[in-house]
Structure 1
Amino acid sequence: MPNVGVVGVQWGDEGKGKIIDILSDYADIIVRFQGGANAGHTIVAGGKRVILHLIPSGILREGKCCIIGNGVVLDPEVFVHELSELKALGYIKDDKKLMVSGLAHLIMPYHKKLDMLKESRNTKKIGTTGRGIGPAYEDKASRMGIRVIDLFDKKVLTERVKRNLEFKNFVIKKYYKNEGFQARQIVKTYSEYGKILKKYVTDTTAFLHKSIDQNKTILFEGAQGTYLDIDHGTYPYVTSSNTVSGNMASGSGAPPTSVGYILGICKAYTTRVGEGPFPTELFGEDGELMRKIGDEYGATTGRPRRCGWFDAVIVRRAVKTNGIKGLSLMKMDVLDSFEKIKICVKYKIGAKTYAEPPMSVGDYERVEPVYEEIDGWNTSLRGITKYDELPTNAKKYLKRLEELVEARIDIVSTGPERESTILLKTRLYNLRFAFLNS
């Protein structure tokens, strides 16, 4: 099939925004299938730096159709803000190029408040962004959620807000000793959001089915990364949705058979925001240097990212879990200044070594990385666009990563700009074939 899915294979923040922006040039439709405004995709195009949290990164490309799928939890306040910014920048000239699934669930004000109150109460933090994502998915699972389509029936909206506030206000007031919400104000505010959203809301599942029948090319855009997946990540230090490729179907309504190529995105090193185990984390000068050169601060929260060496153990598992056919290695240029570069090839607990990630978070926190060390290239890769121009040691690094993670590297990023990208043409043929069906 001609359609392509993009997922992160580490703990998020791998650089998916840039790659989705590039690949959008080959696609007709770009679909976001999970997550919410807790994810940030940063794109540098035409000298402008754009950060998107909800609207798919393909919106920056002329004539592309972008969809927020049913698997997303949508914060209408963030959506309206992004919409306004993108229109001001001239990226949305035709409202028909943006669609929102009426089946997507809404982030409500009490979700955000409960998210922050719960995190502040925890003695051991999860590292939530406080954007209400977890509580919104909780309501969805417990059949208390309010969906986008409910904004257009004031009676239904009012009934559901009142019903939810009976419980939410009780918890906020009695347990957290905080100020609750008034149903009337929420209904009024969200009804106004509904007026703005109405022109974008449609049956996106039906639209995708029709597009597939018409042989349109579709790019599925994931948020966060494999190890923040609620089932396959470092639970409980995870997000509240399935971030792996298997959720592309349920989060969009497109059939699983419609996705023919999965591209995994990973950095040439590893980062993580928030709490949770991180076996290759660096606490000294090397970690600080990675953070400084890579500008490693969260696009959503601004929090400094934890930095460490490339972890082949987690990437290899992610390759198999997601069915990845090729990888895009991001921020290769950040390693330019390192004399020696380490790669985690196995984990060690006591006298035993392991080639697979542990299931227990306790074991995860106890593992020690087993490293291989290679020589750095000690020259700038910034802006290189051809594989042959890479120094020998950089090529050796790429080759060794391919061997360890058991996947080929199809794209290498050498800077934040669109143009600072190496497309390995002989390998990328399959990806272009997937899109162009030629």
Structure 2
Amino acid sequence: MASIRLMNDTAPPDEAARLNSQGMLALRAGNFAEAERLFVAAIMYDTMSSALWRNVATARRAQGDDKGEMQALDAAVNIDRRDFMGWLRKAELHERIGEKAQALVAWSGVLQMAAVASDLPPDIAAALQKGQAFVSQATLQIAEVVSAELAPLSAAMDETELRRSKAFVDVALGRRRTYVNICEGLCYPFLPADEFFDRHHFPWMPAIEAATDEIRTELEALLADPGDALRPYVKMDSGLPENKWSALDQSLDWGACFLWEYGQPNKAVLDRCPHTAAALASLPTTTIPGRAPSAFFSILKPHTRIPPHTGVTNTRAIVHLPLIVPENCGFRVGGETREWHVGQAFAFDDTIEHEAWNDSDKYRAVLIFDVWNPHLTVAEQGVIAQYYTAADATGFGS
């Protein structure tokens, strides 16, 4: 069990071992005061044994000596800060004597330590289950009180304030983690690491949503006779070792029909999808020669999952317009999971870890395209585009 010590790693000296053995016999016989005396005597011969201090704590617990038990457990964990059983018994004691705040902190630490362990004994697993129930109940109680107190403030918040304040509370309560940008390519400094962008950044969204039916009709006609327009989205370079993408490599389980790719139009597909082409042309898409925009129909077959991953650059926002969405489909960006709803677009930062799944028996289809990150000014957009143009002119651009 990684990083967890259920017992002391080193054997105590002979006299300490003898006294400890006698103490265990007294403990089993119900002679708890004598067991405590023997364990304390053993510690005189092995002062750095956290296990002996835990035995003292057990004997004191049997005598109803809560204060003495806590002192012994504190001594155990002061000797070995990774003493898992010491911390577990401390958590149980804090809970038993009604020290709720200390119990919550202790149980949270114990559960974090146990998360890296495997094959725990049944009694320890049962104790952890009770600890998890305590933490869950405590978190729920805090959340209920906090929600009631914040309700008047929340009622006056806009979309951004409400989403961020909810995330703050969830992070504070340990119900979610904070994700950061991981750019596989260019990272533009100091942009907010926001998972989903709020709609007010994209005043054009209702217009493309209004074209959903026409776009879906064109997609369905395209898929009825795709030719070479439909191809695997994942195409790994030969020689790469097995990785999270291997299951989707060269597979139409996740297929794509590109309208634009790395700034180049796919005329054959655009000609077959004139309404989609017109809708895209009306948008303020990212324009970087040889790199952007990109726009494609993303087709996810039944029972297919796209593994957690991050994108190339935070200079863009990725927009999804759901076209065909059966039940049991989902999409996670960072700590927030959303369902797709046909005709309801959303935008996200793909340099924050995200994943998608289709657990239904039907295929799922989404129109995906990129636009500028809304936190970039027009001047900054020009800097980025001109940077690439200048870098490419040297012959060293990539």
**What range describes the TM-score normalised by the shorter chain of this pair?**
under 0.3
Instruction: Please tell me whether Structure 1 or Structure 2 has the larger radius of gyration of its CA atoms.
Output: 2
Between Structure 1 and Structure 2, the one with more strand by share is: 1
Q: TM-score, normalised by structure 1?
A: 0.21
Q: TM-score, normalised by structure 2?
A: 0.22
